[in-house]
Structure 1
């Protein structure tokens, strides 16, 4: 059976051009920094985001955690949003790897503001931890793909600078945020000291993320990457797909956003509860309480009809549009949902 897979944009498959580039990639030993394709990818990622240097990571989680390890010391506190990926989905890595404590703040649809962050920064007191890092997720996964604006980021940067605190941006889907707002990506990344972004989600590469920042930061990150087992050898076969992800796949993200909005509005018309203001990129959060069925039951019903979705709570389902999901697929999902709801 062919499925419409809306579980995540991590399920994308590499394009034919990516597969060819991977086959033909020039490679070397990247631990010795001798892989020319990795070097080209890292330089391209740094250039696009306005940073001095980049470092290939096997995953976004590795990039986030290594950034925290570089920026902080043990017993520091990291300000983040209460349902941010680095806090919610990374296996308590901040506590385990950095020895840092998270300070989760509840954002407005996942987005923190400068006043919130200013109020959470610790003062000088032997009883409390030092605020060592501010982490922002752009776009915010669990909030439904919501975006930080340039204005919001600029205000947070001002607070961070005044208190000498670095900012790390979990930009797993930062290119979605840039396309949605019609701005070059470096107009969003310029407010962060370090940025992690994924190549393997909507951009379609099979594996990998990049961590970018100042050259000195990246060299420290390289050491931690080796410690965590992330030093790769002939990794140019992966980097070749990543280069095409950044050169060929960014502009098409708008198609995913359009499909997400059509899907979200279609499901809302069926009586499902959706905050349509959060459909800014490619993620839709659907409250299915009105169906009288749990998310787990509905996940099974969708799968029986050739649709894969994820439960994100007892009565909440997440759907994610991506490369490989067509407008016809969206119409099919709306039609199946109508039959399930009318049940």
Structure 2
């Protein structure tokens, strides 16, 4: 490493003295264009239903989702990611509702795209919201089977693309699903639909509030997802996952969760140079929000600081439940002014 000088001639605090000089030398920048807003949609008649374990986050009716999606677009958020809260009566062992062209996801996507066609819409491809057991795939003899699951995911991806989804995001962590989904989309005439792979999705304890939000936590019961989601101790394996998914046609890759895995984001960006997204998951969001509600953290500062950390690590975009709130705040008082 080169030497830039020594004290007292070199005083690094000089550039920190004023807001204008801090802005000039700032290395990482955060704007609304960096943010993706995950949203929950439900069948209930209520416009909004608060999620207790995610303060400030709610489930939306389709009509209300359309309204808040337009608000997100007006705030400069490029895309939303839609997650359904499926009626328990429609959940089955094999998750057949996932491939119903009239399911909740497809109806929500059509409504949003009709009202706000310029807003990007991202949809998960996985079976956990639709299954009675809460697993991301088909279960045979107590084990989540790979190839049979992928065959269903292909169909799920196509019905979502038919509904107007712009980005298909397989989050299931089955082997080989990216190539199969890409081929299925192309055969169906959806060559323009992008694929965002949850390439490095870890078997994390930070997902709890999300499972509350979509109603899959109770279904999962005593089971877990460690036979297909990654071991939190592994980094080299994440590189292999990313390499495979890019070879199979992924347009973008994602690391999930985010803050505990900043090293993974940095290494993926350095090694592959591909568009790399981070997901600030429900547990990350909830712990900061809860601490702020207790007066232990300054929410306005800590949420922005956490998002800047993703940019510093190399993330091109960040999925965060605070996306709308942060985007509107940045429009009023840009972080760049501080």
TM-score by length of 1: 0.29
> Which has the higher relative contact order, 1 or 2, with Cα contacts under 8 A spaced 6 or more apart?
1
